[in-house]
Each structure stands twice: as C-alpha cells, then as structure tokens.
C-alpha cells in the first residue's frame, strides 16, 4: 500500500467559486491558473473553470497545453514573452501577452508580422514590480497602438494593497490620470479588488486565490464570502504513543509535555508541502475533531496532540487543510499565506479529482 497522504481536488467547488466571482461583477472573468492552477493541476482546474472568459498564467508552455487541450478563450501571459523567439508562438496559438518593459518593446519592434498580436500594456501605478512608469506610459502606448504587429491593446495595472486597509485608491487614481482618457479595454482587479472595489472592475477582472476557496482578506473568512475549499490535504495517523511530563517531541525538542499526553505521528511533512515553520498549536483535524500540531515538522512526518481525541487510532484520518479546516487558518498559524501552502504542494502527493 502507498503512503496515506493525498490531496482531493473538489472541481465542483472550483465551479462554484467561479460562479461567485461572476456574481460580483459584470466584467469578463480572466481566471488565473498560474503555478499549476495554484497547485490544483493546470488542465483539471482549467476544465472546471471552462466557463471563464479567459485564462491567465505565466509560461508559454502551459498556454500551449491549454490550446492543445481545446481551450479557445483568450489566454494571457502575465509576465509576457521572455525572448523574441516566443513571438511567433504567440501569433500561431493566438496567445495574449502583457508588455511591461523596454526589452519586450524592442523585441516587438523587430517582429516582422503584421496585425497578429493582442497585447495588454501594463502601467506601474505604484506596486513597483512590473510595468511602465506613468511618465513614459503615454508614449509607449502610442507606439504600441501604431505597431504593425499589434491587433488590439488592453490596459492593465496590479494593486499592491487591495486586501488591506490602505485599499486601492492611490493606485486607482494614478491609473485614471494616466490611462483613464483612453477608449481602450482595461483590467485592474484581482480577487480582493473584485470583491471589495466594484469601481475597479473595468472590462476584465483577474480572480486568482478566491477561485481556489481561499479568502484574499486576512480579516474575512472564505466561508463568509460564500467560497468553498477546493483542495483538501489529508493523511492518517501511523503511530501513537504516550508521553509523561517532561518528554520531548521531534527534532530540536522544541515541545515538551507538561503533563501525561497521548500523541500521534502523521504521514505528512515539509517534503509534502506542509510548512516546516508551522509552530506548536497549528490547527489540525483528527477524526473530524480539532486538535494541534506539536513540535517541529519533519521531512516526512509531524506530531499531533491526541490527548482530547479518544477515538483516534492507527489509520485515523487527518485533515491538514481543506474541508473542515480552512487553509487560511493553517496559513495564518504558520505565519504565511494560503497561496504558499497551495502552490507548495509537492509533486509526490497524489491528487484525486
């Protein structure tokens, strides 16, 4: 028999979360499926999200997979093309590319084809990651619009604090001042802006994390937003032992029992994608009952407190995150984000759909 750890992907939940995104906007929905569909499987996630108006990802090879699987919607390369050699592929497979720097403009200028490319031109409105500065953006836009190879242009930016109290207004105002007068399609809203700032929706919204059942907000639960968990990572108890007061658990002896305790060992560790830095107290479900992680996470195992879970036995089901145990709560306890947990799921963990 194989190790008991596996991740179940609820494709119906993906479809539901896409529906929730659609309910929140009248804009077209560009479903973000980068990072192997946030760890959920690119082709499986895209198939569940087939009703989306388009898909966004990073790698041209992933885009070709979608095309070859029969997806005909617009496919957006969020970081654009990485060399001039990719431009013919973009034209052949009708892929849409973000343009965000001068090198891409230079490569585009050397491309001889006419009227073959759809591009999204990115404005750096304050995140200072990708995009053209406000001062240069108008001239770049005119150059791109006039280019012989460009068929159509969409304007875009990305918000740095849509999920925080600071909100989007400073960046939104930059976008309005620099690009607002243009009669061109635009795209600004990620999951957080889609849910909280309707004025930013424009023509295309780009939901990502909300599609996978996680809240983009630290202070609002996914369930409150009507979202359903898509990935449930589960395993089983493979060992049980009794501790006496003073006994240590795991590498570094970072946890010591302060009383007699019953603990279990779970077949899951950081090589499976569970965060090594998750501290004692991180919530876990055993036999459907909340309990806690104990000590340091190992490569292949972790320890769990069974003192108040009398039904637990060898083989008992353990939910690390997902149904009944929100990935956001686990991530918060571990000092990270649900994005990291979902995307870090290791290839050795079997997926079931």
CATH number at residue 346: 2.40.37.10
The string of pLDDT tens digits covering residues 164-207 is 999 999 999 999 999 988 999 999 999 999 999 999 999 999 99
Asked if the model's pLDDT at residue 116 lies above 90, the reply is no
CA distance 75 to 308: 50
**Residues 165, 94: one domain?**
yes
Average pLDDT over residues 256-267: 98
Residue 115, pLDDT score = 74
Asked if the model's pLDDT at residue 124 lies above 80, the reply is yes
Residue 196, pLDDT score = 98
Average pLDDT over residues 194-221: 98
CA distance 183 to 219: 37
How is residue 287 annotated by DSSP? Answer: T
CA distance 18 to 62: 21
- How many domains would you assign to the chain? 2
Average pLDDT over residues 245-255: 97
| E strands present in 35-84 | 54-57, 75-77
Residue 49, pLDDT score = 98
**Residues 256, 186: one domain?**
no
The torsion angles phi and psi of 117, rounded to 5 degrees, stand at -120, 140
Residue 327 falls inside a structural domain: yes
- Per-residue confidence band for 2, with pLDDT thresholds at 50, 70 and 90: very high
The torsion angles phi and psi of 11, rounded to 5 degrees, stand at -65, -30
**Residues 192, 43: one domain?**
yes
**Residues 207, 98: one domain?**
yes
**In which element (H, E) is residue 290 found?**
strand 289-294
Domain end among 212, 240, 258: 212
Residue 180, pLDDT score = 86
**Residues 73, 153: one domain?**
yes
- Is-catalytic flag, 251? yes
- Residues in contact with 33: Cβ distance below 8 Å, sequence separation at least 6, in sequence order: 42, 45, 46, 49, 55, 56, 57, 62
Average pLDDT over residues 109-125: 91
Domain that holds residue 313: 231-352
**Residues 236, 316: one domain?**
yes
The catalytic residue among 93, 251, 274, 313 is 251
Average pLDDT over residues 264-279: 98
**Residues 240, 178: one domain?**
no
- Per-residue confidence band for 150, with pLDDT thresholds at 50, 70 and 90: very high
Cα-based angle 230, 232, 235 (whole degrees, multiple of 5): 170
Asked if the model's pLDDT at residue 67 lies above 90, the reply is yes
The DSSP-derived string for 196-253 is H-GGG--SEE---GGGGT--S-TTS-TTTTT----EEEEEEEEEEEEE-TT-EESGGG
The torsion angles phi and psi of 329, rounded to 5 degrees, stand at -70, -40
Residue 223 falls inside a structural domain: no
CA atoms within 13 A on the CB side of 30: 23
**Residues 318, 198: one domain?**
no
pTM of this prediction?
0.96
């Amino acid at each position: 028999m194989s190790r008991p750890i596996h991740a179940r992907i609820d494709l119906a939940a993906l479809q539901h979360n896409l529906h929730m995104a659609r309910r929140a906007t009248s804009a077209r929905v560009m479903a973000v499926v980068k990072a192997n569909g946030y760890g959920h499987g690119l082709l499986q996630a895209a198939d569940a999200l087939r009703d989306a108006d388009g898909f966004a990802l990073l790698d041209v090879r992933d885009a070709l997979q979608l095309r070859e699987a029969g997806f005909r919607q617009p496919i957006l390369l969020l970081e654009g093309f990485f060399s001039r050699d990719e431009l013919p592929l973009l034209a052949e497979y009708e892929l849409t590319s973000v343009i965000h720097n001068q090198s891409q403009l230079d490569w585009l200028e050397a491309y001889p084809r006419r009227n073959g490319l759809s591009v999204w031109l990115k404005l750096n409105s304050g995140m200072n990651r990708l995009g053209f500065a406000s001062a240069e953006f108008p001239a770049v836009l005119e150059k791109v619009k006039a280019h012989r190879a460009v068929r159509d242009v969409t304007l875009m930016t990305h918000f740095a604090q849509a999920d925080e109290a600071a909100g989007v207004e400073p960046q939104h105002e930059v976008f309005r001042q620099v690009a607002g007068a243009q009669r061109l399609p635009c795209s600004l809203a990620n999951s957080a802006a889609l849910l909280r700032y309707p004025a930013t929706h424009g023509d295309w919204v780009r939901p990502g994390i909300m599609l996978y059942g996680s809240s983009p907000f630290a202070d609002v639960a996914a369930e409150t937003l009507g979202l359903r968990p898509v990935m449930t990572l589960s395993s089983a108890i493979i060992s049980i032992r009794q501790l006496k007061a003073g006994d240590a658990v795991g590498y570094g002896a970072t946890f010591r029992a302060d009383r007699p305790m019953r603990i279990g060992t779970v077949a899951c560790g950081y090589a499976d994608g569970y965060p090594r830095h998750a501290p004692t107290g991180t919530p876990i479900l055993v036999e459907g009952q909340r309990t806690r992680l104990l000590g340091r996470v190992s490569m292949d195992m972790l320890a769990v407190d069974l003192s108040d879970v009398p039904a637990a036995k060898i083989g008992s089901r353990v939910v690390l995150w997902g149904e009944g145990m929100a990935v956001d709560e686990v991530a918060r306890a571990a000092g990270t984000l649900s994005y990291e947990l979902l995307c870090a799921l290791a290839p050795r963990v079997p997926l079931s759909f």
